[in-house]
Structure 1
Amino acid sequence: MDIKLSQCFIAVDDHDQALAFYRDALGLEVRQDVSFEGMRWVTVGSPEQPGVDIVLEPPVADPNASDADRRAMAELLAKGLLRGVIFSTEDCDATFERVRASGAEVLQEPVDQPYGVRDCAFRDPAGNMLRFAQRRSG
C-alpha cells in the first residue's frame, strides 16, 4: 500500500495576515489562492516537499453554518484549541530566531525533549500552535 500525506488544514481568521506569516516568516511558497462563496483558501508548502500542502482555511468552511457555529469556532480558534502543526527543521535554534524575529508569539524556547528532539513552539497570527522540531543524533 502506498499512502502519503497530501494536505493538512489550518484554520485562520485573516488570510492576509496568515499568508504574510507562512510565506514571509516561515518561507513557505504560495501554491494556490482560491475564493468561493465569500470564503478563501490559501495553499502553502515547503519547496522541499512539493507533494505536501498546508491549506489555510476559514474556521467554518460552510456557507450555511449557523451564527452560533461561527461564534463557537471563532472562540476555539482565539484560544488556540483547533489545530497544531509540527514542522521538522535541521536547526531548531536558527529557526526559533527567525520566527521570533517575525514577531510571532513564543510559547516555548528551544529545549531538548526526552523523546529525542530539540524543539520550540509559537502561535501563528490566528492562535494555532506550531512546533519546530530537530531530531537529535545519537
Structure 2
Amino acid sequence: MITNLAITTVWTTDQERSRDFFADKLGFEVRDDIEMGEGMRWITVGVPGQPDVMLALMRTTGPGLDPESAEALTTLVSKGVLGAGAFHTDDCRATYEKLRERGVDFIQEPQERPYGTEAIFRDDSGNWYSLTQRQEGGLDHSKPWA
C-alpha cells in the first residue's frame, strides 16, 4: 500500500525563476537540479527538515506536452487559475510579514478562518498557495465560512 506522498508537481513558466523563488524567498532546499537532455530539467525543492516531501518544478512547455496542451497549461498557470498547495506555519502573521519583505506577492492578507489563520500568495509563474496557521483544537464549526 501507499505509505506517503513523495513528490508532487508545480507547473512553472520559468524553472530557474521558480527555483530561485522557492529557495530565496520561501527558504526551501533545492534537492535536485539536473539537466536531463531533450529540453528536460529535473528540479525538486522541499521544506528544510521535511526530506520525504518534495515539489517537482515542471515547465509548462516541457517534453511530453503537445503544443496545444502546453499553451493551454501556460495560460492557466499564468492567470493564476491553478492552486498549487497549502503550507503550514506556526505563526501566519509573522511569516506573512517576513515573506512580504522578501518580495512574495500576497493576494490575501492573513484572515481568520474556521480552520485557522490564512494568507494567500502567488509564485512568479502565477500559481497560488495557502499559508495557514492551524486552529488550535481543530476546526471551529461556530465560525462562518466566508
Same fold (TM over 0.5): yes
* Per-residue deviation, 1:66: 2.9
Q: Is 1:87–1:133's contact at 8 Å kept on the other side of the alignment?
A: yes
* Per-residue deviation, 1:77: 1.1
Q: 1:59, 1:25 → 2: CA distance?
A: 22
Q: 1:113, 1:41 → 2: CA distance?
A: 36
Q: 2:43, 2:97 → 1: CA distance?
A: 26
Contiguous gaps of at least 5 residues in structure 1: none
- Report the residue type matching 2:60 in the other structure: P
The aligned counterpart of 1:120 is 119
Which has the larger displacement, 75-84 or 118-127? Answer: 75-84
Q: 2:122, 2:56 → 1: CA distance?
A: 17
* Per-residue deviation, 1:83: 3.7
Q: Please tell me the root mean square deviation across aligned C-alpha atoms, in Å.
A: 1.6
- Report the residue type matching 1:15 in the other structure: Q
- Report the residue type matching 2:73 in the other structure: M
TM-score (norm 2): 0.85
Q: Is 1:10–1:83's contact at 8 Å kept on the other side of the alignment?
A: no
* Per-residue deviation, 1:62: 2.5
**Cα deviation digits, residues 85-131 of structure 1 (max 9, x gap):** 100111101111122112222111011102x2111010000000011
**Count of residue pairs brought into register by the alignment:** 136
- Report the residue type matching 2:47 in the other structure: S
Q: Is 1:25–1:98's contact at 8 Å kept on the other side of the alignment?
A: no
* Per-residue deviation, 1:135: 1.0
